[in-house]
Amino acid sequence: MLATLLLLPPIAAALSLAKISDRLRLQIFRTTAFAHLALSIALWVRPGGELFGGFVSLDAVGLLILSPTSALFAGVSVYLGGYLARAERRSHRIFIASLLVLEGALSLACASQHLGLFWVALETSTLVSAPLIYFHHTGRALEATWKYLIVGSVGIALALLGTVFLAIAATNPSGGSTLWIRDLMAAGSHLSKPWLHAAFVLLLMGYGTKMGLAPMHAWKPDAYGEAPPPIAGLMAGTFTNCAFLGVLRATQICAHAGEAKFASSLLILLGLVSLAVAAVFIVGQADYRRLLAYASVEQMGVLVFGLGFGVLGAQGSLLHVLNNALNKGILFLAAGNLLQLYGTSAISGVAGALRRTPATGALLLVGLFAAVGLPPFGLFISEFMILRAALAGGASAWPAGLYLALLAVIFLGMCVAILPMAQGDDSPREARVAEPLSTLLPPLAFAAAALLLGVYVPPPMARLIDSAARQMGGG
């Protein structure tokens, strides 16, 4: 089952490269994405075993990150039908193929048990997302793509270095070493401390660049601001989570080596810096796509911040991963609808969406409320869990206080920006616009899922989060 899941996207990618119509390509994508979703749901019921000599196997954390990835791809595959129909005509050959490779690479990243393989998967996903960002072929998109590539490459290079350092740290007396995650965890306190520390810094910086943690975040607003919104949503909701998986693995290893304190100081620092940077740029933001990008920086900050507080915090962070993915799905897809409807991504150019297109307007509001951590959406629960962990575990209340204050500032910024888009006077009054169902259903489904996670976390998921979080506790 796991093998099918991993092999399906690349095969479909190859298929879509053949000379076939764009409609068929989209169909292939949709079918693959839904098959992928079905398979990953099936994996919840019957966990897959080890594959390829143990290189690939889905553990609790992997499954937790794979599931929203899969769901987001399925949603976007539906959404693209409506979106592309309204976008300019252009061959989708590379676009669809890249999407499929991306899905494959991300699935591989989730399932890889070897840090080298993980790195390869993530690097692949970085490269294939370049054509996705460049989809609209504008000068600005080109600039964004270039920046994304350079910054992303530097970041991923640092991650590679970190991986190598980890291997050096794990050198055993006989000269052998390992990059198997389970071996690294088992090595525990035998890891060489200075190299482990350096490795952790590099991995955090490297995968942090991919996540978009400040100060490595600068590519993010550019890329999300210029990529087609569904692609930006995919990146914000899946790609960054997979990069977070890298940070998670590194933290896991650190925790098992008894260096949890070292890791958490860095995680908390970067988390707070990300929150602060996001707060500065969210307040007064003039472009809603860039706004969402900074919101993503914020969420990433919350993720690593939570990870800095032991098992409790990791629980919150893992739940947050799921919620954030769904939330990004809602917001970016709604933003895509607005972009197509109003033809601008300037906040001042959009007003009265609730009147003009009630469904998208409502989605925007729901997405906003979910993003800023209001109930009944899941982010409320996960942010509260993280706060609680921060207060319970922290030696001082400062990080928790800063976290709350920054979240409040971000709340202000997001509301100031988005509320007038949804509400407000849409004069000159234009007729209501009927939107295709395909661009409404996916975000609605995400909203429903986000609501569900806020009200009731299914017990299997709760158990999985619990067991995954325990890995962060060391020992």
Partner 1 sequence: MTNVALDIALVLALVLGVASLGTSRLGAAIRYFSMQAACVAMVPLLIETRSGELSVHAWILFVATMVLKVSGVPYFLNRSLREASVRTEIEPLIGFGTTLAIGAGLVALSFGLARQLPLPQKPASDLLIPIAFSLLMIGLLLIVSRTKAVTQVVGYLIMENGIFLFGLILIDVFPYLIEIGVLLDLFVAVFVMGIVIFHINRAFDHIDSHQLDSLKD
Partner 2 sequence: MAALAAAAVLSAVLASRRALALAVSAGGCLAALALAAPPAVQVLLGGGTRTLTWTNPVLGQQALVLDPLAAWFVVPTLFISTGCAVYGVRYLLAGDRPVGMQAAGTNLIVLALLTVFLAGDAILFLAAWELMTIFAFLLLTHEHDRAEVRRAGLLYLVLTHAATSCLLAMFALLSIHNGSLRFGTGAALSPGAASALFTLAVIGFGCKAGAWPLHIWLPAAHPVAPSQISALLSGLVIKTGIYGLLRATLLIGRVPMTCGAVLLGIGVASAVLGVLAALAQHELKRLLAYHSIENIGIILIGAGLGSMALAAGRPAVAAIAFAGALLHVVNHALFKSLLFLSAGAVGRACRTLQIDRLGGVLRAMPRTGTSFVIGAAAICGLPPLNGFVSEFLVYMALLAACAVFPVAGQAEAVFAFAALACVGGLAAACFAKASGAVFLGAPRTPAASDAREAPGAMVGPMLALAATCVIAGLSGPWLLRVLDAPVQQLGGVSLAATPARQGLIATAALGAALIAIAGAIALIRRGLLHRQPAESSVTWACGYAAVTPSMQYTASSFARPLIAVFRGVLLPQRRQIAAVAPFAATVAVEEHSPDPVERFALDPALRGSGVGLALLRRAQPTRVQSYVLAIFVALIALLWWRLG
The interface partner of residue 430, options being partner 2, partner 1, none and the CB cut-off 5 to 8 Å by kind, is none
Do 230 and 319 touch, CB atoms closer than 8 A?
Answer: no
Give the Å distances, CA to CA, from 69 to 40, 108, 234, 290.
10, 12, 8, 22
Contact track, partner 1, 186-225, x by CB under 8 A: ------x-xx--x----------------------xx--x
CA end-to-end span of the chain: 31
Residue 235 interacting with partner 2 (CB under 8 A): no
Q: Which residues pair with 287 in a beta bridge?
A: 346
How many residues sit close enough to partner 2 to count as binding (CB under 8 A)?
69
| Phi and psi, residue 428, nearest 5° | -65, 135
The interface partner of residue 177, options being partner 1, partner 2, none and the CB cut-off 5 to 8 Å by kind, is partner 1
Residue 298 interacting with partner 1 (CB under 8 A): no
Could you tell me which of 5, 144, 156, 4 has the C-alpha nearest to residue 73?
Answer: 5
Residue 161 interacting with partner 1 (CB under 8 A): yes
SS3 (DSSP) at 252: helix
Residue 192 interacting with partner 2 (CB under 8 A): no
The interface partner of residue 11, options being partner 1, partner 2, none and the CB cut-off 5 to 8 Å by kind, is none
Q: CA-CA-CA-CA torsion for 421, 366, 235, 113, nearest 10 degrees?
A: 160
Residue 290 interacting with partner 1 (CB under 8 A): yes
Residue 143 interacting with partner 1 (CB under 8 A): yes
How many residues sit close enough to partner 1 to count as binding (CB under 8 A)?
50
Contacting partner 2 within 320-379 (CB under 8 A) = 352, 354-355, 369, 372, 374-376
How many Cβ atoms sit within 10 Å of the Cβ of residue 265? 12
Do 245 and 65 touch, CB atoms closer than 8 A?
Answer: yes
Residue positions counted in the chain: 475
Could you tell me which of 261, 251, 238, 201 has the C-alpha nearest to residue 468?
Answer: 251
DSSP state, residue 18: S
Determine the Cα–Cα distance for residues 222 and 290; give it in Å rounded to an integer.
Answer: 7
Determine the Cα–Cα distance for residues 17 and 9; give it in Å rounded to an integer.
Answer: 12
Residue 150 interacting with partner 2 (CB under 8 A): yes
Could you tell me which of 236, 235, 265 has the C-alpha nearest to residue 251?
Answer: 265
Residue 165 interacting with partner 1 (CB under 8 A): yes
SS3 (DSSP) at 112: strand
How many Cβ atoms sit within 10 Å of the Cβ of residue 119? 23
Nearest distance from residue 183's CB to partner 1, in Å? 11
Q: Which is nearer to partner 2, 204 or 253 (CB)?
A: 204
Q: Which is nearer to partner 2, 186 or 405 (CB)?
A: 405
Nearest distance from residue 233's CB to partner 2, in Å? 22
As given in the structure block, the two tokens for residue 253 are 């290893």
- Which of 400, 440, 449, 468 forms a contact with partner 2 (CB under 8 A)? 400
- Which of 15, 51, 168, 404 forms a contact with partner 1 (CB under 8 A)? 168
Residue 63 interacting with partner 2 (CB under 8 A): no
State the DSSP string of 25-39: HHHHHHHHHHHHHHH
Contacting partner 2 within 246-285 (CB under 8 A) = 262, 265-266, 280-281, 283-284
Q: Which residues pair with 180 in a beta bridge?
A: 114
As given in the structure block, the two tokens for residue 13 are 């990618």
Residue 106 interacting with partner 1 (CB under 8 A): no
As given in the structure block, the two tokens for residue 471 are 């890995």
Nearest distance from residue 106's CB to partner 1, in Å? 15
Residue 158 interacting with partner 2 (CB under 8 A): yes
Q: Which stretch binds partner 1 (CB under 8 A): 153-161, 295-303, 330-338, 397-405?
A: 153-161
Give the Å distances, CA to CA, from 409 to 272, 282, 346, 398, 403.
13, 9, 21, 16, 10
Angle, alpha carbons 387-393-399 (nearest 5°):
55
Residues that bind partner 2 (CB under 8 A): 146-147, 150-151, 154-155, 158, 194, 197-198, 201-202, 204-205, 209, 215-216, 218-219, 262, 265-266, 280-281, 283-284, 315, 319, 352, 354-355, 369, 372, 374-376, 380-381, 384-385, 387-388, 391-392, 400-401, 404-405, 407-408, 411-412, 415-416, 419-420, 423-426, 454, 456-459, 461-463, 465
Residues that bind partner 1 (CB under 8 A): 114, 116-117, 119-120, 123-124, 127, 130-131, 134, 139-140, 142-147, 149-150, 153-154, 157, 160-161, 164-165, 167-169, 171, 175-179, 192, 194-195, 198, 221-222, 225-226, 281, 285-287, 290
